[in-house]
Amino acid sequence: MKIKNPRTGQYYYEIFPPTFEELKTKTKSMREAQEDWKESGIEHRIKALQDWKVVVEEHKEKLIDALCMDTGRKWETVLEVDLVALSIDRWSKISREFFATTERKTSSIPFLEIEQGYEPYSLVGVISPWNFPLLLSLIDTIPALLAGCAVVVKPSEITPRFIEVLQKTINQVPGLLGILNYIEGGGETGADLCKLTDIICFTGSTETGKKVYQAACNNFIPVFLELGGKDAVIVTETADIERATSAVLWGSVANAGQSCLSIERIYVHRNVYHSFLSRLVGKANLLKLAHPTMDSGQIGPIISEKQVIIIDNQLEDAFKKGAVLTAGSRKCEELNGGFYCRPTILTNVTHDMKVMTEETFGPILPVMAYTTVEEAIEFANKTQYGLSGAVFAGTEEEAMKIARKMKCEAVSINDAVLTAVMHEGEKNSFKMSGIGGTRMGPSAIKRFVKQKAYLINSQGVKDSW
Amino acid sequence: MKIKNPRTGQYYYEIFPPTFEELKTKTKSMREAQEDWKESGIEHRIKALQDWKVVVEEHKEKLIDALCMDTGRKWETVLEVDLVALSIDRWSKISREFFATTERKTSSIPFLEIEQGYEPYSLVGVISPWNFPLLLSLIDTIPALLAGCAVVVKPSEITPRFIEVLQKTINQVPGLLGILNYIEGGGETGADLCKLTDIICFTGSTETGKKVYQAACNNFIPVFLELGGKDAVIVTETADIERATSAVLWGSVANAGQSCLSIERIYVHRNVYHSFLSRLVGKANLLKLAHPTMDSGQIGPIISEKQVIIIDNQLEDAFKKGAVLTAGSRKCEELNGGFYCRPTILTNVTHDMKVMTEETFGPILPVMAYTTVEEAIEFANKTQYGLSGAVFAGTEEEAMKIARKMKCEAVSINDAVLTAVMHEGEKNSFKMSGIGGTRMGPSAIKRFVKQKAYLINSQGVKDSW
């Protein structure tokens, strides 16, 4: 399986997916290793992950190099690698607290007591996407490991180069041997994984998510899906326009818009529409493509060639239906074999355009005016997705009133894409954006264990016939 | 659709399932009614259910009559009706506490705060079985209502007579109008329901559970399945045999064994096998069939004719493979058109008999001797199911050591089927016994809401470009 470099369009790497039989052998031995891992206790597991953290830190440069070649962009990559340590620390704390709460309790019935137990699933499968290859491969993996599961991870075949580097760091931690494995492969390997694991965690497109749900159903296992989004922002007439334009731009074009939680629809009150738009255009025009070097600008290449086609198709559809190009360009640009998309602001947009209904995954900012708050909320909810959203208003009270009516799992108030940085809240995707328990907050650990109750008659013979 | 009376084998009742179009109209108006229900707040919803509790109590006799005709047995029916009030009170308390925890919190990041919100699913579908028609139709319904959902319930077509009586009690509570509806119908109506609701809760056989999972997958909605069991009890040589035999017998033959959590396999240490067996046989032989009247004995009729065939088939298979009849009878007995199964103790059983591997759902007690604790645990876990189990031992410590190794969601210690009476523990079915979050304990409420996080930048402009 040959892999392209997104900055040059050239094949530059090759991966060799395991056969089903090879995967079967590997997962079998992982299940055996998990027996000890499960019994080892939470402190042992925290120690193993802390050891890994140190090794990852030592190999930081190599990891960044591999990820940069995979994704063609730099600062998001550095962030991804830096977040590994924070994530391990955060989940260590949460899981320690979680497993501390197993003490015995009396019940409401005389002589009957209860003790809560946990049986981790033996083997968790993680299938992760190409937009944040390292970060999103770990988001479910770390809590699953701490819960006592073995984890096999299949990152996207579009950005696989970091796998070898990361697996080497894993192999240097004796405690993780046979417990955590990264494997290379495409859709077929992902399908194989669904047949060999006890839970599947999938992050990616809604289209593929449906297939993963079907595979889990066939195998009668639980599934956790985090899928597409079409996040809306609502800017009221009382909002701080300076602040709103900066945050919205950031939320739309970071990682060249290749983020499930990036802002893809902007609804602005009619009375501030023009001042908002002119400032947004001014700020957008200051941004530069990260070409010829990764440090040349803020906007890296579109990582997946398929995505270039989707973006161009949506733009073409929008212009055909009357959208006006207010900043950016009419289509992605090819530079030295890579494809780039400038921050592109569209006005005169309508809800029959693909760019207003389908996930774009690019730095496209369609801006639409609204007249009443009710209308804005209706617009924002006019989507099959329900991932996140944002509201900007003069007071928090005004913003919260709107946010409470938005049909999505998280709303940033007077800021954008805070879901990327705040991990404390529990949330569940709405509509076609996902299925399954929260992946954030303490309850996230529960996804990876079967809870078990010990019901104890501590005294006396039961009064029965 | 004609319905038989299990005590006479005669058709005695008819149900008229709604067409898909009728169901579509009904569920549409329920979704509209749910908008107010959701907004009304937890105290309003508790009040509505408390009002309903009073009305149900007033119609207790009629409800018991209908259920007795449906199921052919009495004292379990009285218990079912009595438990309605307890269940409403318990969930009122749990949900009040749950919704009280929405206060705003600071996060670990300066200026960023978080508030937890909840958006109930609009319409929950409940598909419930015939063994405890009232109780199991409410087990998910009450928490779902309190969470703010509308609920449509389709009880089994085998025991539908209580539906009309119960719906009349619902209609007398203004607060529940359009929010809770019971509908008549069989498998086809259940399939329709999966197309029209936002979550499906199913209690029933593993075979049907797989179909429900597929239907939920087709509709891309979450599913909660509580399915079959093949519960094992382990009796060690230190156990109190007097106590163990009473509890095991109770756990096996209550409701004529028609309970997912009834004991269906009995593993006894070789050294106490004979004393256990003789006492068990002695006690079993004291039990009487509830014939000619419901008060004539403890063992009611087998409710479903299909189940009679399954039980007879398992017994035939067991005898063919060498099982010895030690108490009870070789097959179900037909009495005045109804079918009854005496408490039937089998010895000389092996794990290649259906009665040791497939769910029986009848008062059959296969008893097998074991030599070591390891062997007993291996035997107990030798099943595709993982619902519950029990251990009897001289000390709790000894029992807990064994219980921790049993692969099932709940283990009773020195007692049997405590899951039927203790609702505090959180638990998740193992293996083919189910899928989805716990239906007991505070987390059960979470199944019916999408958690939503409000992420608030309370101060200052974000430091971005």
pLDDT in tens, A224-253: 999 999 999 999 999 999 999 999 999 999
Choose the closest CB to B428 out of A404, A443, A451: A451
Tell me what pLDDT residue A102 has. 64
- Is the pLDDT at A463 greater than 70, yes or no? no
Q: Pick the range with the lowest mean pLDDT from A457-461, B27-31, B268-272.
A: A457-461
Choose the closest CB to B298 out of A416, A438, A465: A465
Partners of residue A434 in chain B, C-beta under 8 Å: none
Band the pLDDT of A465: cuts 50, 70, 90: very low
What does A424-454 look like in DSSP terms, one character per residue? -S----EETTEESS-SSSTHHHHTTEEEEEE
| Minimal CA separation from A247 to chain B, in Å | 7
Inter-axis angle of helices A161-171 and A60-71, to 10 degrees?
Answer: 160
Tell me what pLDDT residue A421 has. 85
Choose the closest CB to B213 out of A217, A240, A465: A217
Q: Please compute the mean of the pLDDT values over residues A9-35 and round it to a whole number.
A: 97
Q: Contact, B52 vs B145, CB < 8 A?
A: no
The number of beta carbons lying within 10 Å of the beta carbon of residue B392 is 30
- Is the pLDDT at A191 greater than 60, yes or no? yes
Q: Contact, A455 vs A244, CB < 8 A?
A: no
- Is the pLDDT at B463 greater than 60, yes or no? no
Helix (H, G, I), strand (E, B) or coil at A32: helix
A169 closest CA partner among A48, A38, A3: A48
Residue of A nearest to B454 (CA): A411
A155 closest CA partner among A217, A121, A91, A203: A203
Tell me what pLDDT residue A460 has. 47
Helix (H, G, I), strand (E, B) or coil at A266: strand
Q: Contact, A330 vs A311, CB < 8 A?
A: no
Interface test with A, best of B118, B262, B391, B424 (most A CBs within 10 A): B424
Choose the closest CB to B396 out of A108, A247, A456: A456
Is B260 labeled as catalytic in the residue annotation? Answer: yes
In percent, how much of chain A has pLDDT > 90?
92
Residue type, A163: I
Look at B427 and A459; give whichever has higher pLDDT: B427
Q: Please compute the mean of the pLDDT values over residues A181-185 and round it to a whole number.
A: 98
A266 closest CA partner among A362, A392, A384, A397: A392
pTM for the complete prediction? 0.96
> Mean pLDDT score of chain A, rounded to an integer?
95
| Minimal CA separation from A458 to chain B, in Å | 8
Tell me what pLDDT residue B442 has. 82
B453 to A427: CB separation less than 8 angstroms, yes or no: yes
B119 to A432: CB separation less than 8 angstroms, yes or no: no
B409 to A453: CB separation less than 8 angstroms, yes or no: yes
Q: Please compute the mean of the pLDDT values over residues B347-370 and round it to a whole number.
A: 98
Residue of B nearest to A415 (CA): B457
Residue A433 tokens read as 């954006």
- Is the pLDDT at B465 greater than 80, yes or no? no
Q: pLDDT, tens digit, for every residue of A43-90? A: 999 999 999 999 999 999 999 999 999 999 999 999 999 999 999 999
DSSP H helices in A237-304: 241-253, 273-286
Residue B376 tokens read as 């007993």
Q: Contact, A277 vs A326, CB < 8 A?
A: yes
Partners of residue A440 in chain B, C-beta under 8 Å: 453
ipTM of the complex: 0.95
Partners of residue B107 in chain A, C-beta under 8 Å: 422, 424
- Is the pLDDT at A464 greater than 50, yes or no? no
Q: Contact, A37 vs A150, CB < 8 A?
A: yes
Q: Please compute the mean of the pLDDT values over residues B162-169 and round it to a whole number.
A: 98
Q: pLDDT, tens digit, for every residue of A99-132? A: 886 678 888 888 899 999 999 999 999 999 999 9
Q: What span, in angstroms and rounded, lies between the C-alpha atoms of B414 and B294?
A: 31
Band the pLDDT of B459: cuts 50, 70, 90: confident
Q: pLDDT, tens digit, for every residue of B67-87? A: 999 999 999 999 999 999 999
Q: Please compute the mean of the pLDDT values over residues A431-457 and round it to a whole number.
A: 93
Q: Please compute the mean of the pLDDT values over residues B36-41 and round it to a whole number.
A: 96
Q: What span, in angstroms and rounded, lies between the C-alpha atoms of B89 and B137?
A: 17
Tell me: cis bond preceding A18? Omega within 30 of 0 counts.
no
Residue A240 tokens read as 């701080």
Please, how many CA atoms are within 13 Å of residue B185, restricted to the half-sphere of its CB?
21
- Is the pLDDT at B103 greater than 80, yes or no? no
Is B226 labeled as catalytic in the residue annotation? Answer: yes
Q: pLDDT, tens digit, for every residue of A380-439? A: 999 999 999 999 999 999 999 999 999 999 999 999 999 888 888 899 999 999 999 899
> Mean pLDDT score of chain B, rounded to an integer?
95
Q: pLDDT, tens digit, for every residue of B369-404? A: 999 999 999 999 999 999 999 999 999 999 999 999
Band the pLDDT of B102: cuts 50, 70, 90: low
Partners of residue B400 in chain A, C-beta under 8 Å: 115, 454, 456
B247 to A424: CB separation less than 8 angstroms, yes or no: no
Query: A176: which DSSP letter?
Result: G
Q: pLDDT, tens digit, for every residue of B127-144? A: 999 999 999 999 999 999
Tell me what pLDDT residue B341 has. 98
